[in-house]
Amino acid sequence: MDSLEFFLQQLGNGIILGSAYALVAIGLTLVFGVLGVINLAQGEILVAGAFAGLVCLERGAGLGVALLAGGSAAALLGVLVERLALRPLPASADPHIRMVSTIGVAVIIQQVVSQVFSARQHPYPTPPLLEGRVMIGPVQFDFVNLFIFALAALLMLALTYLIQRTKLGVAIRAVAESPRTAAMMGINSDLIVPLVFAVSSALAGVAGVLVGMYFNNVGPFMGIPIGLKALAAVIFGGLGSIGGAAVASVLIGVAEVMTVAYVASSWRDAVAFAIIIAALLLRPGGLFGSKLAEKV
Amino acid sequence: MGTMTFLRRCAATLALLILTLAGKAQAADLKIGLLLSQTGPLSSYGVPMRSAAEYAAKVVNDSGGINGQKLVVLTEDDTSNPATFLNGLNRLIDKEKVLALVGPITSGFFQAGAPIVQEAGLSMISPTATAPNLTSGNPAAFRNNPSEDVNIPSLLKLMKSTHPEIRSIAVIYDNKEAADKVIGGLYEKLAPQVGWQVQSVTTFLSGQLNYSDIVAKSLRGKPDVVAVAAHAEDAANVARELRRQGYKNIILGGTPTVSQDYIKIGGEAANDTYVVVPYYHGAKTEQNARFVAGYTKFTGRTVVDPWEASTFESIGMIAQAMREAHVTGDPAKVVAERNAIQGQLAATHGYPGLIGNINFDKERVAEKPAVIIRVQDGTWQAL
């Protein structure tokens, strides 16, 4: 494979990996936008979705069933996280306390998954529908990778449409802006908030199934590095910006893959995060965030 | 005789009886400590190895024990973690006062524990560690597994003779595990000696999930053969990714790869993996037939991994050393008895291993027969 072909191959792989990260990141930014809290259990919710999908695939279920199972299981878990770990906290509680509460939930989910499925890595079957490869120009792609990219893009567009063009989206934005004002307008934030968690978690759950297929295996502890990268993408892209989270995720995916391709695998995470730190030093508000003004 | 006098005499007799029995129980048990991972990533080796050790102790005890005394194996779970390993080691040495140790699984842990066992004067045999020079300069360190710098050349020589079309190799290894680093380095160093060009050397860290980019990098130059130096779980995932990316040729492995888990996780991708090992469960010797039959009955496992066999042999060699040193298990003599066992172990020559005789060389590394095996139709098979 010549240099250009190899570069294009790795670029494609990076974009695909970033697409999977993007699904986690936009869910994170959605929750932040509405509640002002970073849900650090998002990575572990992804893991739960991945394992729900794995159970279905191992029993011969098709791709659609696996994705539905992953998304549904994760959505349910997300609602439980909101109800049990966040809602009981006082409204005046510092956002950092809420964030720490989600860390506790993450640890619990991790331990439960490792007890139920064991702490080891599990092979992730590729559905027969997605077996095979195709050449796009000089570059060869697995069908599974193309599917990951296409589904991730579709879900991101669907979410953007939901938020920007539907009544439900208006309600979500209203609650994000001001829960009190939204309540006065007749919007029930007690329904909107769990719904946002459900949507955000469902995206993570679907991402879990996609990541499982991309990596070819899953493990109970894979949520940590993925969650961290998604968080980095949220910050790098600009807090609260769905488009920013998506773009940043893809940039992180590309940085990671290119580091492995041209430097060494052991540097993959260090280089990706170093790029983020450098970019934030230049633009502290993130790629698509507002410029930060110092409070005096 | 007054009542109180009678009761006092009964109490004294009872106390004497208890002390005698307790003394007898202590002297009756000769303890070997096992430092094997029962949880964590290395447990796929450690759990069956513990079974093998317990079976070995049963075989010794069923044959009358060691000079009439019972052999007991005590397990400490290192949880595949270095800090836990060291805590467990100290507990076995100081609290349980074991007379010898079997384990640990990895060369890295072995290196960490070796100075401690040297100071305590007891012997530590690893059934699995393979890094070269692991036991050099430490009279307490033993290894029942030949060094990889003996194993890899024989595998390369075989490949050269049976597959003359091979001209290039890509090497992938786990940069986190000491043994895998050594094996990867050996492939890189020795492949040119059989006329192969080393196209790429790619590393990863065990426990990562994404192998697609490292495999893509390795396959970039379309190597004729790929060497993968990793423990079973990671090696299986690399094999699956290699096959997924269209690689159809032979995979060369290292001894840490050999485990039923490699086949269980790797599935069909594991086929055509070649490794040199010091044991093969299908070997046609009397000792092996007896061992496999009894072990299968004890554990239900029909296919025995080399690490289980090596653990069984290690316990057997320590038992022989204890017999020859006439140890008593008396806690007051533990230092002297540990030293005596060490001396006998170092002098081991012609011990009847499962597929041939075992000697310890002057560096306390086992000299024993080896066999090249490959995965075919879902099982490890000798060539």
Task: For residues B16-25, give the mean pLDDT.
Answer: 48
Q: Among candidates A200, A231, A166, A223, which has minimal Cα distance to A86?
A: A200
CA–CA distance from B289 to each of B61, B259, B275, B315 (Å)?
20, 20, 22, 18
What is the CATH topology of the domain spanning B148-277?
Rossmann fold (3.40.50)
Per-residue pLDDT at A1 = 63
Which of B177, B212, B245 to mutate to test binding with chain A, by most A CBs within 10 Å of its CB? B212
Per-residue pLDDT at A294 = 37
Which of B174, B203, B206, B208 to mutate to test binding with chain A, by most A CBs within 10 Å of its CB? B208
Q: Which pLDDT band holds residue B2 (cuts at 50, 70, 90)?
A: low
Residue B18 scores a pLDDT above 60: no
Residue B241 scores a pLDDT above 90: yes
Percent of chain B at pLDDT > 70 equals 93
Contact B217 A260 (CB under 8 A): yes
CA–CA distance from B198 to each of A264, B151, B161, B173, B222 (Å)?
17, 19, 18, 14, 12
> Tokens in use for B150?
């003996």
Backbone Cα Rg of chain B: 23
Contact A265 B212 (CB under 8 A): no
SS (H, E, C) chain A: CCHHHHHHHHHHHHHHHHHHHHHHHHHHHHHHHHHCCCCCCHHHHHHHHHHHHHHHHHCCCCHHHHHHHHHHHHHHHHHHHHHHHHCCCCCCCCHHHHHHHHHHHHHHHHHHHHHHHCCCCEECCCCHHHCCEEEECCEEEEHHHHHHHHHHHHHHHHHHHHHHHCHHHHHHHHHHHCHHHHHHCCCCHHHHHHHHHHHHHHHHHHHHHHHHHHHCEECCCCHHHHHHHHHHHHHHHCCCCHHHHHHHHHHHHHHHHHHHHHCCHHHHHHHHHHHHHHHHHHCCCCCCCCCCCCCC
CA atoms in the 13 A half-sphere facing the CB of B382 = 13
Q: Which top CATH class is B11-146+284-369? A: alpha beta
Phi and psi for A122 in degrees, rounded to 5?
-120, 130
SS (H, E, C) chain B: CCHHHHHHHHHHHHHHHHHHHHHHHHHHEEEEEEECCCCCCCHHHHHHHHHHHHHHHHHHHHCCCECCEEEEEEEECCCCCHHHHHHHHHHHHHHCCCCEEECCCCHHHHHHHHHHHHHHCCEEEECCCCCCCCCCCCCCEEECCCCHHHHHHHHHHHHHHHCCCCCEEEEEEECCCHHHHHHHHHHHHHHHHHCCEEEEEEEECCCCCCCHHHHHHHHCCCCCEEEEECCHHHHHHHHHHHHHCCCCCCEECCHHHCCHHHHHHHHHHHCCEEEEECCCCCCCCHHHHHHHHHHHHHHCCCCCCHHHHHHHHHHHHHHHHHHHHCCCCCHHHHHHHHHHHHHHHHCCCCEECCCCEEEECCCCEEECCCEEEEEECCEEEEC
| CA–CA dist B280, B271 (Å, integer) | 17
Q: What is the largest CA-CA distance in chain A?
A: 63
Question: Minimal Cα–Cα distance from A236 to chain B, Å?
Answer: 23
Backbone conformation region of residue A283, classed left if phi is above 0, alpha if psi is from -120 to 50, else beta: beta
Contact A216 B246 (CB under 8 A): no
Q: Which top CATH class is A13-282? A: mainly alpha
Per-residue pLDDT at B289 = 95
Domain with CATH 3.40.50.2300 in chain B: 11-146+284-369, 148-277
The reply to whether B121 touches chain A by the CB within 8 Å rule is no
Contact A142 B244 (CB under 8 A): yes
| CA–CA dist B20, B367 (Å, integer) | 44
Q: Among candidates A58, A154, A54, A163, which has minimal Cα distance to A113?
A: A54
Contact B240 A217 (CB under 8 A): yes
Judging contacts by C-beta atoms under 8 Å, the chain B residues touching residue A215 are: 209-212
Q: Please report the number of interchain residue pairs, chain A to chain B, with beta-carbon separation below 8 angstroms.
A: 73
Contact B237 A266 (CB under 8 A): no
Residues in Cβ contact with B107 at an 8 Å cutoff, skipping those fewer than 6 apart: B126, B129, B130, B131, B134, B177, B178, B179, B182
Per-residue pLDDT at B36 = 93
Give residue-wise pLDDT tens across range B262-271.
Answer: 998 899 999 9
Give residue-wise pLDDT tens across range A35-65.
Answer: 788 899 999 999 999 999 999 999 999 999 9
Question: Minimal Cα–Cα distance from A102 to chain B, Å?
Answer: 24
| CA–CA dist B49, B47 (Å, integer) | 5
CB B45 within 8 A of CB B235: no
> Tokens in use for B72?
């007991």
Interface of B with A in 87-116 (CB under 8 A): none
Per-residue pLDDT at B80 = 86
Judging contacts by C-beta atoms under 8 Å, the chain A residues touching residue B41 are: 119-120
Q: Which pLDDT band holds residue B64 (cuts at 50, 70, 90)?
A: very high
Per-residue pLDDT at A120 = 80
Percent of chain B at pLDDT > 90 equals 69
Contact B39 A119 (CB under 8 A): yes
Q: Which pLDDT band holds residue B131 (cuts at 50, 70, 90)?
A: confident
Question: Minimal Cα–Cα distance from A269 to chain B, Å?
Answer: 11
Backbone conformation region of residue B291, classed left if phi is above 0, alpha if psi is from -120 to 50, else beta: alpha
Contact A121 B241 (CB under 8 A): no
Q: Which residues of A touch B (CB under 8 A)?
A: 1, 6, 9-10, 13, 17, 119-121, 123, 126, 133, 142, 214-219, 221-222, 256-257, 260-261, 264-266, 268
The reply to whether B163 touches chain A by the CB within 8 Å rule is no
Query: Which of A121, A217, A260 is facing B214, going by the closest CB pair?
Result: A260
pTM of the model: 0.78
Domain range summary for chain A, segments of one domain joined by +: 13-282
Q: Among candidates B228, B233, B172, B231, which has minimal Cα distance to B204?
A: B172
| CA–CA dist A74, B76 (Å, integer) | 38
Judging contacts by C-beta atoms under 8 Å, the chain B residues touching residue A260 are: 213-214, 217
Question: Minimal Cα–Cα distance from B217 to chain A, Å?
Answer: 6
Q: Across chain B, what does the average pLDDT equal?
A: 90
Phi and psi for A28 in degrees, rounded to 5?
-60, -45
Residue B118 scores a pLDDT above 90: yes
Residue B17 scores a pLDDT above 60: no
Residue B81 scores a pLDDT above 80: yes
Give residue-wise pLDDT tens across range B157-175.
Answer: 999 999 999 999 999 999 9
Residue type at position B280: Y
Higher-scoring residue by pLDDT: B104, A183: B104
Q: Which pLDDT band holds residue B258 (cuts at 50, 70, 90)?
A: confident
Residue B25 scores a pLDDT above 50: no
Backbone Cα Rg of chain A: 19
| CA–CA dist B363, B348 (Å, integer) | 12
CA atoms in the 13 A half-sphere facing the CB of B58 = 12
Which parts of chain A sit beneath pLDDT 70? Answer: 1, 288-296
Per-residue pLDDT at B230 = 94
Per-residue pLDDT at A290 = 55
Q: Helix A3-35 to helix A223-237 angle, to the nearest 10 degrees? A: 80
The reply to whether B243 touches chain A by the CB within 8 Å rule is no
| CA–CA dist B112, B82 (Å, integer) | 8
Per-residue pLDDT at B10 = 62
Planar angle of CA A223, A19, A196, nearest 5 degrees: 65
